[in-house]
């Protein structure tokens, strides 16, 4: 379908749609109002019929009561007066001592067929034709029944009073007649008859005919107007489409004629101005694209070749500055320990922030304070004019976005903020724009991926070197740290003390209390080791129940002091465990045997000093456990430079020989 056909269809829909909807609404409303009025008439008629039948029942009850309360001799006269006054059409008096009174006395039946008892309509046979309303009264053994016959005249009077047709319902409900609305009233106390109310209702046929005529006239006028409007609109648009096709083919000299100074004329003028400026934009974008492509290539190579943030972040920052035309930039990362924002790299900063890289890395900001703090605290980007925060870089305009970890399948919908990427003073413009924010978000995403990958890599390395049960370093890391500490001690002429610890009778703990309790003992033992060490000391789990502690710059005497402190910490407080059976002791007494060796006194290499401490541990075990032993001293003799053991192994406290002591 052409544009002209679509415009014509749209105009017809816009014009005829409301007309048709309005016509349908009016028709439905008229029908609803008519039905509502009919329902109201039936509601009023139902109330009036109920009141009328109830009044007849009360009148019959009063007549029956009046006959029942008078003496037997006067009942005939009273009944005659009531019948004469029309308060009842039939009266029956049943008295063992008197004959039956009333007009129907010859029947001999106090409850003829078809009489409906006002008080208890449930006893009536619904198949019988209702002939009268009846009410009964009782006095001693006398029963008085007053009745009002139901005939066409009575129903006609009721219908005239309520304005609808009234009839007595027999059998199942009859179908409604065309153009009428029926309502059936069930029998109930006070109205023992099933009555049918019928109200006539007519449809406004003339109104519907007028509505159809209005719709037809409106449709004819709308078609004519739609064709004219589509014709006058599509001709300038055709010219504009022709010019756009020429521009798309590279002819930027194409111009569109401006027929009238209306919206289409302004559109043509805007198109002509756009083509004039497009060539200069194309040249500028081509140059910027080539420059950005080079920076992105450098960024990709950096991200794929290293996990060093000190190399990655400056590349990301410089590429973001080039892409947005910023004069200066700054990247801060959140410290996982205290949550503060620590500067990691900056380019082009002025004022107090124009410092060497070593001093820049010492700068920290508090989340929630200032522009950068708000971005880190809320995770929402900010941009604006001059920054007024005293502890942030001075600038004329700024743009700051959060650096977030990339989302994963098992992460939160909004990952935590890892840092902030901020740019300052956009060159060539008064402030940063929405496009700059989208670009900076892209680079912040790259920074988030880089920071997240580095931290995941560091965490993976830590987990590979950590014992999962105790949280101490494992045997693999022990070999590396011990070698590094021995080299450092040898280079600076310092000492290094090595403690090898082994829990006594640990197999009995597992056999008696179970392996779960054994794991609790190992975890508690590792915790007490950490509490008894300095910050520079390092503890390892070598395997099973054997642990190793490295004490840098500590001599034998200092090692003995640490061994005594650790032995007391283990011995004096039994470990609480969950017993495997009720009645077992829930505290396990434990002790530890410790072997002590000092570099270079007891070994000249990492393996040698570790072996010496291990030998001293076995000496402590053979000495009865729950004690410590110092390794045998070695001396350097012989041209080959081998370490030869001395003569004695020493246990218990030992006097200081080298270094600082402990």
What confidence tens digit (pLDDT) does each residue in 370-405 have?
888 889 888 899 988 877 667 888 888 899 999 988
- Whether 316 maps to a domain, the answer reads no
Asked if the model's pLDDT at residue 150 lies above 90, the reply is: no
**CA angle (247 as vertex; 246, 250 as ends), nearest 5:** 95
Domain that holds residue 53: 3-200
**CA angle (548 as vertex; 546, 550 as ends), nearest 5:** 175
Provide DSSP, 56-74: HHHHHHHHHHHHHHS-GGG
Contact between 319 and 295 (Cβ < 8 Å): yes
pLDDT digit string, tens, across residues 74-103: 888 888 888 888 888 888 888 766 554 444
| Burial (CB count <10 Å: 0-12, 13-18, 19+), residue 144 | buried
Same domain flag for 592 and 490: yes
Q: How many other C-beta atoms lie within 10 A of the C-beta of residue 391?
A: 14
Same domain flag for 187 and 231: no
Quick one: tokens of 341? 């924002």
Q: Please state the pTM of the whole predicted model.
A: 0.40
Same domain flag for 275 and 350: no
Residue 80: closest CA among 56, 96, 61, 103: 103
Same domain flag for 297 and 345: no
pLDDT digit string, tens, across residues 194-246: 778 777 765 556 666 777 788 788 778 878 777 777 777 777 777 778 788 88
Element (H, E) at 473: none
Q: Which of 128-137, 169-178, 501-510 has the lowest mean pLDDT?
A: 169-178
Give the mean model confidence (pLDDT) for residues 635-647.
36
Contact between 591 and 504 (Cβ < 8 Å): yes
Q: State residue 204's pLDDT score.
A: 57
Question: CA-to-CA distance for 90 and 101, rounded, in angstroms?
Answer: 10
Domain boundary among 399, 422, 457: 457
Contact between 275 and 252 (Cβ < 8 Å): yes
- Whether 74 maps to a domain, the answer reads yes
Same domain flag for 452 and 474: no
Total count of domains within the chain: 4
Average pLDDT of the chain to the nearest whole number = 78
Give the mean model confidence (pLDDT) for residues 350-359.
83
Reduce the DSSP state of residue 452 to 3 states and report it: helix
**DSSP one-letter code for 384:** E
- Whether 520 maps to a domain, the answer reads yes
Residue percentage of the chain with pLDDT more than 90 = 16
How far CA 654 is from CA of 459, 557, 603, 629, in Å, comes to 41, 6, 18, 10
Same domain flag for 450 and 498: no
pLDDT digit string, tens, across residues 476-517: 889 889 999 999 999 999 999 999 999 998 888 888 888 888
CATH number at residue 346: 3.30.450.40
How far CA 161 is from CA of 40, 43, 45, 157, in Å, comes to 15, 14, 8, 6
Scanning the structure block, which residue is given the tokens 């059998």? 171
Strand spans (E) along 201-339: 326-334
Strand spans (E) along 504-574: 538-543, 546-552
Question: CA-to-CA distance for 443 and 402, rounded, in angstroms?
Answer: 10
- Whether 659 maps to a domain, the answer reads no
How far CA 626 is from CA of 20, 354, 498, 518, 617, in Å, comes to 101, 61, 18, 18, 11
Residues 6+ apart with CB under 8 A from 22: none
Question: CA-to-CA distance for 110 and 384, rounded, in angstroms?
Answer: 103
Q: If you count DSSP H runs as helices and E runs as strands, how many of each does the chain have, helices first?
A: 14, 24
Residue 448: closest CA among 496, 411, 503, 398: 411
Question: CA-to-CA distance for 654 and 630, rounded, in angstroms?
Answer: 8
Handedness of CA 47, 52, 53, 58 (dihedral sign): positive
Q: State residue 592's pLDDT score.
A: 93
Question: CA-to-CA distance for 654 and 662, rounded, in angstroms?
Answer: 12
What do you get for the CA distance between the two ends of the chain, in Å? 94
- Whether 657 maps to a domain, the answer reads no
- Whether 88 maps to a domain, the answer reads yes
Same domain flag for 284 and 335: no
How far CA 121 is from CA of 62, 186, 393, in Å, comes to 18, 10, 97
Confidence bin at 608 (pLDDT 50/70/90): very high
| Burial (CB count <10 Å: 0-12, 13-18, 19+), residue 30 | middle
Same domain flag for 433 and 487: no
Residue 158: closest CA among 119, 121, 112, 193: 193
**DSSP one-letter code for 411:** S
Domain boundary among 423, 439, 457: 457
Same domain flag for 278 and 348: no
Q: Which of 71-85, 156-170, 433-447, 474-488 has the lowest mean pLDDT?
A: 156-170
Quick one: tokens of 410? 């098992």
Domain boundary among 305, 337, 357: 305
Asked if the model's pLDDT at residue 191 lies above 90, the reply is: no
- Residues across the chain: 662
How far CA 144 is from CA of 38, 91, 112, 147, 249, in Å, comes to 42, 7, 13, 10, 112
Same domain flag for 62 and 137: yes
CATH number at residue 598: 3.30.70.270
Q: State residue 50's pLDDT score.
A: 83
Calculate helix-pair angle for 152-162, 3-69, nearest 10 degrees: 130
Same domain flag for 124 and 19: yes
Helix H, strand E, coil C: the string for 403-432 is EECCCCCCCCCCCCEEEEEEEEEECCCCCC
- Cis status of the peptide bond prior to 276, with omega within 30 of 0: no
Same domain flag for 192 and 236: no
- Whether 215 maps to a domain, the answer reads no
Contact between 309 and 450 (Cβ < 8 Å): yes
Q: State residue 584's pLDDT score.
A: 73
Confidence bin at 651 (pLDDT 50/70/90): very low
- Whether 301 maps to a domain, the answer reads yes
Q: State residue 124's pLDDT score.
A: 59
Question: CA-to-CA distance for 430 and 432, rounded, in angstroms?
Answer: 7
Q: State residue 165's pLDDT score.
A: 78
Contact between 557 and 662 (Cβ < 8 Å): yes
């Amino acid at each position: 379908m052409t544009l002209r056909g679509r415009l014509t269809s749209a105009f017809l829909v816009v014009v005829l749609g409301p007309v048709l909807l309005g016509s349908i609404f009016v028709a439905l409303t008229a029908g609803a109002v008519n039905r509502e009025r009919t329902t109201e008439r039936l509601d009023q008629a139902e109330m009036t019929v109920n009141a009328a039948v109830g009044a007849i029942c009360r009148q019959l009850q009063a007549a029956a009561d009046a006959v029942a309360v008078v003496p037997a001799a006067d009942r005939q006269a009273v009944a005659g007066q009531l019948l004469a006054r029309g308060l009842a059409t039939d009266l029956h008096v049943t008295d063992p001592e008197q004959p039956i009174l009333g007009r129907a006395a010859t029947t001999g039946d106090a409850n003829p067929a078809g009489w409906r008892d006002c008080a208890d309509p449930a006893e009536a046979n619904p198949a019988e034709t209702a002939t009268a309303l009846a009410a009964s009264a009782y006095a001693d053994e006398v029963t008085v029944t007053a009745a009002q016959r139901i005939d066409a005249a009575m129903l006609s009077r009721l219908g005239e009073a309520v304005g609808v047709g009234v009839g007595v319902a027999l059998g199942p409900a009859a179908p409604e007649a065309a153009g009428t609305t029926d309502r059936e009233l069930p029998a109930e106390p006070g109205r023992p008859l099933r009555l049918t109310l019928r109200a006539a209702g007519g449809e406004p046929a003339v109104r519907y005919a007028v509505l159809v005529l209005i719709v037809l006239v409106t449709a004819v006028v709308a078609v004519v107007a739609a064709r004219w409007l589509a014709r006058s609109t599509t001709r300038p648009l055709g010219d504009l489409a022709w010019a756009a096709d020429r521009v798309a083919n590279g002819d930027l000299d194409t111009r569109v004629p401006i027929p009238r100074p209306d919206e289409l004329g302004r559109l043509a003028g805007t198109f002509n101005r756009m083509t004039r400026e497009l060539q200069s934009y194309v040249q500028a974008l081509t140059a910027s694209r080539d420059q950005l492509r080079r920076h992105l290539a450098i960024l990709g190579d950096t991200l794929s070749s290293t996990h060093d943030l000190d190399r990655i972040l400056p590349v990301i920052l410089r590429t973001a500055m080039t892409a947005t035309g910023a004069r200066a930039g700054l990247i801060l990362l959140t410290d996982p320990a205290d949550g503060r924002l620590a500067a990691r790299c900056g380019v082009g900063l002025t004022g107090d922030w124009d410092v060497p890289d070593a001093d820049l890395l010492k700068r920290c900001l508090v989340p929630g304070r200032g522009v950068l703090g708000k971005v880190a605290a809320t995770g929402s980007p900010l941009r604006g004019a001059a920054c007024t925060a005293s502890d942030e870089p001075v600038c004329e305009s700024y743009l700051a976005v959060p650096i977030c970890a990339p989302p994963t399948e098992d992460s939160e919908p909004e990952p935590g903020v890892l840092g902030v990427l901020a740019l300052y003073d956009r060159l060539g413009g008064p402030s940063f724009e929405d496009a700059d924010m989208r670009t900076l978000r892209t680079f912040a995403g790259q920074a988030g991926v880089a920071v997240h990958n580095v931290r995941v890599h560091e965490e993976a390395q830590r987990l590979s070197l950590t014992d999962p049960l105790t949280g101490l370093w494992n045997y693999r890391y022990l070999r590396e740290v011990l070698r590094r500490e021995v080299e450092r001690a040898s280079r600076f002429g310092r000492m290094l003390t090595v403690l090898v610890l082994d829990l006594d009778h640990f197999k009995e703990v597992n056999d008696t209390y179970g392996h779960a309790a054994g794991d609790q003992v190992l975890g508690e033992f590792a915790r007490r080791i950490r509490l008894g060490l300095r910050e520079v000391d390092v503890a390892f789990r070598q395997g099973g129940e054997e642990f190793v502690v490295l004490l840098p710059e500590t001599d034998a005497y200092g090692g003995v002091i640490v061994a005594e402190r650790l032995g007391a910490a283990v011995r004096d407080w039994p470990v609480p465990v969950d017993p495997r059976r009720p009645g077992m002791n829930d505290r396990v007494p434990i002790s530890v045997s410790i072997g002590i060796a000092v570099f270079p006194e007891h070994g000249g290499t990492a393996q040698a000093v570790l072996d010496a401490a291990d030998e001293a541990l076995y000496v402590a075990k053979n000495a009865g456990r729950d004690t410590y032993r110092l390794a045998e001293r070695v001396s350097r003799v012989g041209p080959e430079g081998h370490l030869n053991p001395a003569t004695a192994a020493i246990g218990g406290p030992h006097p200081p020989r080298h270094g600082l002591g402990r």
